[in-house]
Amino acid sequence: MTAKQHAKRLIWPSALMLISLGMVIFHTELATFLGPSDALSLGVTAAAYFASAWLVSRVLSLALDQAAARRQPYPRLLKDLITAVLFLIAAAATGALFMGQGAVGALAGSGLVLAMLGFAIRNVVADTLSGIALGIEGPFRIGDWVDIDGLSRGRVIEIGWRTTRILTRDATYMILPNSQIARQRITNYSAPKPQYRAQVNITLDHSVSIERAKGIILNSLKDAELIQMDPAPDVRVQAYEESGITYAVRYWLSRFDRDIDCRDEVYTLLDDGLRRAGTVSPHRRIEFYAASAPFQMTENGQSASISSSSDRGQTNKYFPTVAHTSPQAP
In whole angstroms, what is the distance from residue 254 CA to residue 146 CA? Answer: 15
Angle between helices 76-99 and 122-137 (to 10 degrees): 120
Cα distance between the two ends of the chain: 65
Q: Between 200 and 322, where is the model more confident? A: 200
CATH of domain 134-188: 2.30.30.60
Res. 69: pLDDT tops 90: no
Is 90 exceeded by the pLDDT of residue 76? no
Q: CA nearest 160: which of 84, 86, 80?
A: 80
Least confident stretch, 10-14, 156-160, 178-182, 315-319: 315-319
Torsion over CA of 10, 14, 15 and 16, rounded to 10 degrees? 110
Per-residue pLDDT reduced to its tens digit, 275-311: 999 886 666 656 666 655 555 555 555 545 444 444 4
pLDDT at 75: 63
Per-residue pLDDT band at 325 (split at 50, 70, 90): very low
User: How far apart are the C-alpha atoms of 230 and 252, rounded to whole Å?
Assistant: 8
187 strand-pairing partners:
147
Is the pLDDT confidence value at 324 over 50?
A: no
- Alpha-carbon distance 169 to 263, whole Å? 15
Q: What is the pTM of this model?
A: 0.55
Is the predicted pLDDT of residue 95 greater than 80, yes or no? no
Which band of pLDDT confidence, cut at 50, 70 and 90, is reported for residue 125?
confident
> Residue 103 pLDDT more than 60?
no
Residue with the larger pLDDT of the pair 254 and 112: 254
- Across residues 45-59, what is the average pLDDT? 86
pLDDT (0 to 100) of residue 34: 62
Q: What is the pLDDT of residues 220-275, one digit of tens each?
A: 999 899 999 989 999 999 999 988 999 999 999 998 888 999 999 999 999 999 99
Q: Residues 20, 47: contact at Cβ < 8 Å?
A: yes
Higher pLDDT, 117 or 220: 220
Architecture field, domain 196-276: 2-Layer Sandwich (3.30)
Among candidate residues 218, 240, 242, the one with its CA nearest the CA of residue 229: 218
Per-residue confidence (pLDDT) for residue 116, from 0 to 100: 67
State how far the Cα of 6 lies from the Cα of 211, in Å rounded to an integer: 63
Quick: pLDDT tens for 168-223: 988 899 999 999 999 999 999 998 888 989 999 999 999 899 999 999 999 999 98
Average pLDDT for 1-23: 78
H or E element at residue 321:
strand 317-325
Give the model's pLDDT for residue 37.
61
* Residue 42, CA distances (Å) to 37, 91, 99 in order: 9, 13, 11
Going by the DSSP 8-state scheme, the letter that residue 258 receives in this structure is G
Q: Provide mean pLDDT across the span 120-137.
A: 79
